[in-house]
Chains A and B, each alone.
Chain A
Amino acid sequence: MTRPPLRILLAALGGEGGGVLMNWIVAAARSAGHGVQATSVPGVAQRTGSTSYYIEIAAPNDPHAVLSLVPMPGRVDVVVSSELVETARVMSAGFVSPKLTTLISSTARFYSTAEKISMGDGRFSEDTIAKAAETMAKHSFLLDLGQLAIDNGTFVSATMFGALAGSGVLPWSADHSRLQLTDPKSQAGFDAAVTAVTALKTERPPVAPNPVPVAPPEASGLQTVLAHGTSRMTDYQDAEYAQMYSDRAQSLIAQTDLTDHRAVHALTEACRRLALWMAFEDIARVADLKTRPERFAKIHDEIQLEPGQTLTITEYMKPRPEEIADILPVNLGTRIMARVESGRRFPLLGRGLHLRSNGIIGYRLLRMVAALKRIRRRSYRFQIEQAQIEIWLTLMQTALRQSPDFAMALAELPRVLKGYSDTLMRGKTAYTQIMSQVVEPSVTTGADAANARLLRESIGAALADDSHEKLNAVLMGIAPDPAIPNLKKAAHA
């Protein structure tokens, strides 16, 4: 019986050039004297959806092989994937086998809509996929083929081809594959990928049975958070405000059993949230951040500004009476808000403005707004936020004494206060609801692990959609849908 054909599955996103790659492989196989067949199911998937291509290359002594058009799970020799979650999809379908499959995957991420629309962090864990890939494949080569393509000014199809050729699974030389490419940039990308894969082959570290735990995120340690928090307050307001932050943090530290690592974790998170909350974004803060030299440097970098080009930067601002009231002194702010609530109009506000922040007028105007920082301490919103912070701090102190679990969840609660205008209002509504229906009753009766779970679920549900449908369900005692992505994260935290 003749040898089975070499079976190659390509996983990609529509529009990435998977078809081009398929045709290169087909042409290389043909000119190397192999019978070859390839096919795909593009359809509308070419519009950014996930798609796949399948190639079978017959053994050279088998010119009349009957080649299949559809890959069989567990019977694929090579998988080449342009994106990490697509690699996960291919593994889920059973196409990667430890007995057979060489898996070449880009580590690049192209987040799916499902991951992006979460109000918190809905991203699929990349380490999990990488670990699974190493376990599921006979040989695995994980490398950022997208970045390699960008570095060489070409497309991911070229670096995928290079990685495939360099892995040594094709029954012809890498040089023969390279002959299919005519464009110097594609060749450069191909070469870079061959080199990268060869390096992975030779320097392959033994697969550790217990992979090294992921490095903790920056600023996770209490001292680091406190240091960042203090400097943030100085930057935001002044040294006095920084002192206020330190004092508030100290009031939490004083209630914490520092020998209990769960309590310390809760404390650290609380100090992080406290810093973010105290540095809330009012129009003075936004104007200040938008006119800093380092911000313009960052933009130049991001848009890859070249020497000799000129640039204008336009900001999209739409200050409503509410945002103006926020930064004005309390009595003035209160009057404006009363007028807003009575439904009367403000002729000049609530319109979209296009401000040129690197233009002379735009820049000066933004600096003037940034200068309102000086009256922030007396402002309408400042008073409201400080009062809210104090209430949360007091509850936090009690929680840290009562239950580290609950304290951990309570520390996360200010996370629902996000965004601007309507988004922020919805966040505040969720916050108030969770405060009055979950936190206050729990603290009054003595918080425990059960309360902690309910609180975590409420926060997760509040971040799951912007209609509060899931939050209302959780608050009414309906068990949360396990598909709420943030629940998992909150539960791990």
Chain B
Amino acid sequence: MEVSFAKEIEKLRLGDGDMFHGEGILAVTKALLQSGVSYIGGYQGAPVSHLIDVMVQAAPQMSELGVHVEPCTNEASAAAMLGASIMYPVRGAVTWKSIVGTNVAADALSNLASPGVLGGTLIVIGEDYGEGSSVIQERSHAYAMKSTIWLMDPRPNLTSIVTCVERSFELSEASNTPVMMELRIRACHVQGEFIAKDNVKPAISMQQMLTDPAPHQYEQLAHPPVTFGHERKKSGERMQAARQFIADHKLNELFDGPEGEVGLIVQGGLYNALIRALTELGLADTTGRCDLPILALNVVYPLAPDEILAFANGKRAVLVLEEGQPEYIENEIGTILRRAGSTTTLAGKDLLPMAGEYSAPVMTAGIGTFLRQHLPRIGNQLGDEGYAEEVAALQDQAAALLNAPVPPRPPGFCTGCPERPFFAALKLTQQEIGPVHYSADIGCHAFATFAPFNFGNSILGYGMSLASNASVASFQEKPPLAVMGDGGFWHNGLLSGVTSRLLNGGDGVLVIMKNGYTSATGTQEVISSPDTDMKLRAAEQSATHGETTIEDALKGVGVKWLRTVHTYRLSKMRDTLREAFTTKFKGLKVIVAEGECQLERQRRVKPIRAKALQAGDRVVRTRFGIDDDTCTGDHSCIRLSGCPTLTVKTSTDPLKTDPVAHVTNGCVGCGLCGEVAHAATLCPSFWRADIVSNPRWWDRTRAALRRALTGIPA
């Protein structure tokens, strides 16, 4: 695992009245323990990867309390885990990245929500929306509505978030309904504080075992004919109970203000940005005291109609600030107002943008327009247009001074990444056989969609690359290529892709990046991750070598054409790719591109090396370099690599005007530069230096001989 939470995990033990300082997602973990959960599960993905990392690393502390921890192989399996709470009075929580994770979990969620739950059930979703998001832009809100799952959207401070977690379990139990809590990216990573409570040991748990299973109750199955009754309950008594609970416990917060002719209704998660927007307009101070009344919805589904009507009552107009599209909340408020015959004007997406993040500048502009229409006395005094002009002027001035667009800097493969050589090999293969249809997938390998590789015709979801070119294979002369990681393979790819292609006897080439972990999300483990023994044996080498779970599974389902090639054997990889695309064998061809994630390998190597150097053992360090005298500055090597440490510098030759290629000291000596120089017949400028610390007598003798016979020192 990439990040160590050893220090943070201690904070999970804080008791009543202690001050907790830390990250949002860690606060959620603490709140789960304070709520007495029996089990926690989930699947990693930004922005909730840290929650998975923390719960895995804190497994010993969790088991003291009796909490079962299960990092699942995908979100569907995490969602299905919540089935425990249908029949047993146990609280449980799972987490994943949304919208994508909720999509995968959708089937289990429907089947969970229909019978409803006995024990409190919470799904913590990282709403990966807006700046920093790595997925398609959709709202999780739709799932809440269609499956009847309550949706919390707490104000983004730790106290509110923690309270919301605790209330969610109560709400869930009061209404027999699962609850989702959405946390936006920045809220997941927010550093803040709250006053802790003691953790609660669950009454039923791995430490407090039940002797008997729950009785058979047909009513609890998501199976006809009881599903018809479930539907009536969802919209009837459960909904009623939830609304009652929300009102009774004041889950939504009213911040009153003197200018009561209008009002603002906002998703809780947007509250802080709203206050900043109002401060900019001169309508609020830094503590949140505001001239306009605000209804902050910490529960965005369901709404309590009485609460909405009470807020709108006597107001000329209300503005709904709702991020993303379509405007579910606004539509529902409209229905509530209309049915009650309210004369209050409803404003929202007519004044604010339909799509995109609701940042403070966006809301500043929207509120300005709203107030000019409905409260001109104040609206006409506002400076929001001045602010927009000021920002535009700043941006224009910067653009004019910089004189050229700033080059993009998307994420890329790390230094020494074993996936990079595969893409160099693919580039070389395509130079020989021409372009092939390339189905990309989710994972680090998706960085190959950026320069210098620019690969990919489509991305259809996690582990879906092979499935996504099933029909392409039917009308392409050359078999199409699908690339997926081992993470994607186990998440979905084996079943959706491999077995489906085998069932249909279709053609195609599948490349599986076997780096041993789900690396893009922070190197969490998969079923084929090398175990401790393998890592110990591998030491500085790739620990994935010899781990054959993927190959065994492929053989087991009947893959006939299967090769495993280490990615750093560039020429061999190119030959294997050429063979895969040109062979007479019709059917699925799988290349397992093996090479352990460099982040994990370096984490192992560094302490081994430090220890060896300390002990005076012989240690060899390898790095690459480039002769700037022979480099002509054409940068072909960079276009085949993209390594962060392979860069350019001003030539030391006074006659050369173009920069020459250069390897920085960050080079980890992975060997790709040399392989590329050979495989692509690039240029003779690369050199490899093997530096021996604490040399032995034979090293020293050879070095002395070399000195004597060549005249070169060292």
- Where the two chains meet, the residues of A that have a C-beta atom closer than 8 Å to any C-beta of B are 1-5, 13-15, 22-23, 26, 30, 36-51, 54, 58-59, 62, 64-70, 72-75, 85-86, 88-89, 91-94, 96-97, 110-121, 123-125, 128-129, 131-132, 135-136, 217-219, 224-225, 228-229, 232, 272, 275-276, 281, 283, 285-286, 289-290, 293, 295-296, 299-300, 302-306, 308-318, 320, 350, 352, 354, 357-360, 363-364, 415, 418-423, 427, 466, 483, 488
| Inter-subunit contact A117/B638 (CB<8 Å) | yes
Q: Do the beta carbons of A318 and B677 come within 8 Å of each other?
A: yes
Q: Is B109 close to A, CB under 8 A? A: no
Q: Which residue in chain A gives the minimum CB-CB distance to B444?
A: A47
Say yes or no: is B404 at the interface (Cβ < 8 Å to chain A).
yes
Contact partners of B47 in chain A: CB under 8 A: 43
Residues of chain A with a CB closer than 8 A to B694's CB: 308
With a CB–CB cut-off of 8 A, which chain A residues contact B408? 112, 114
Partner of A303, one of B280, B387, B689: B689
B361 at the interface (CB under 8 A from A): yes
What is the distance, in angstroms, from B434's C-beta to the closest C-beta of chain A? Answer: 13
Using known A-B contacts A72-B280, A420-B683, determine if residue A44 contacts B402 with beta carbons closer than 8 Å.
no
The reply to whether A117 and B654 contact each other, CB–CB distance below 8 Å, is no
CB distance from B425 to the nearest CB of A (A): 15
Contact B402 A309 (CB under 8 A): no
Contact of A121 with B407 in the complex, beta carbons under 8 Å: no
**Residue pair A419, B287 in contact (C-beta under 8 Å):** no
Which residues from 558 to 616 on chain B have a C-beta closer than 8 Å to any C-beta of chain A? 571
A364 to B635, CA, bound (A): 30
Assess whether A313 is in contact with B687, with CB atoms less than 8 Å apart. Answer: yes
Bound together, the chains give a CA A443 to CA B412 distance in angstroms of 47
Which chain A positions have C-beta within 8 A of B693? 306, 308-309
- CB pair B712–A310 under 8 Å, yes or no, is no
Known contacts: A44-B520, A45-B411, A47-B444. The answer to whether A123 contacts B46 by CB under 8 A is no
- Is B689's CB under 8 angstroms from A68's CB? no
Interface flags for B300-316 (1: CB within 8 Å of A; 0: not) read 00000000000000000
B667-699 vs A, CB cutoff 8 Å, 1 = contact: the mask equals: 000000010011111111011111111110001
Is B413 a contact of A47 with CB atoms below 8 Å? yes
- Residues 640-679 (chain B) with a chain A CB within 8 angstroms: 642, 644, 646-648, 654-659, 665, 674, 677-679
Beta-carbon contact of A41 and B132 below 8 Å: yes
Q: Per a CB cutoff under 8 Å, which of B190, B410, B689, B705 touches A69?
A: B190
**CB neighbours of B404 from chain A (8 A):** 124-125, 128, 488
Cβ of B244 under 8 Å from chain A: no
Closest 5 CB pairs of A and B: A41-B132, A49-B411, A352-B678, A132-B401, A219-B654
Q: How many chain B residues touch A (Cβ–Cβ < 8 Å)?
A: 117
* Cα–Cα, bound, A129→B392 (Å): 19
| A-B contacts, 6 listed (Cβ < 8 Å) | A47-B520, A120-B658, A299-B625, A320-B681, A360-B710, A420-B684
Taking Cβ atoms with an 8 Å cutoff, the residues of B that contact A are 21, 24, 46-47, 128, 131-134, 156-157, 185-187, 189-192, 271-273, 275-276, 279-280, 285-288, 359-361, 387, 390-392, 394-395, 397-399, 401-414, 444, 447, 450-452, 520, 571, 623, 625, 627, 629-630, 632-636, 638-639, 642, 644, 646-648, 654-659, 665, 674, 677-684, 686-695, 699-700, 702-703, 705-706, 709-714
Task: Report the minimal beta-carbon distance from A234 to chain B, rounded to whole angstroms.
Answer: 14
Query: Which of A70, A124, A308, A419 contacts B186 (CB under 8 A)?
Result: A70
Chain B residues near A272 (CB, 8 Å)? 655, 657
Instruction: For the complex formed, measure the closest distance between the CB of B449 and the CB atoms of chain A, giving whole angstroms.
Output: 12
Give A421 to B402 CA distance when docked, in angstroms: 38
Q: Are A309 and B695 in contact (CB under 8 A)?
A: yes
Instruction: Decide yes or no: A66 and B131 within 8 Å by CB, A85-B406, A112-B408 being known contacts.
Output: no
CB of B681 within 8 A of CB of A422, answer yes
Closest-by-CB residue of B relative to A89 is B406
B635 and A136 contacting across the interface, CB-CB below 8 Å: no
Chain B residue nearest to A304 (CB atoms) is: B665
**Known contacts being A45-B132, A305-B714, A421-B682, is A73 close to B414, with CB within 8 Å?**
no
Cβ A358 vs Cβ B634 within 8 A: no
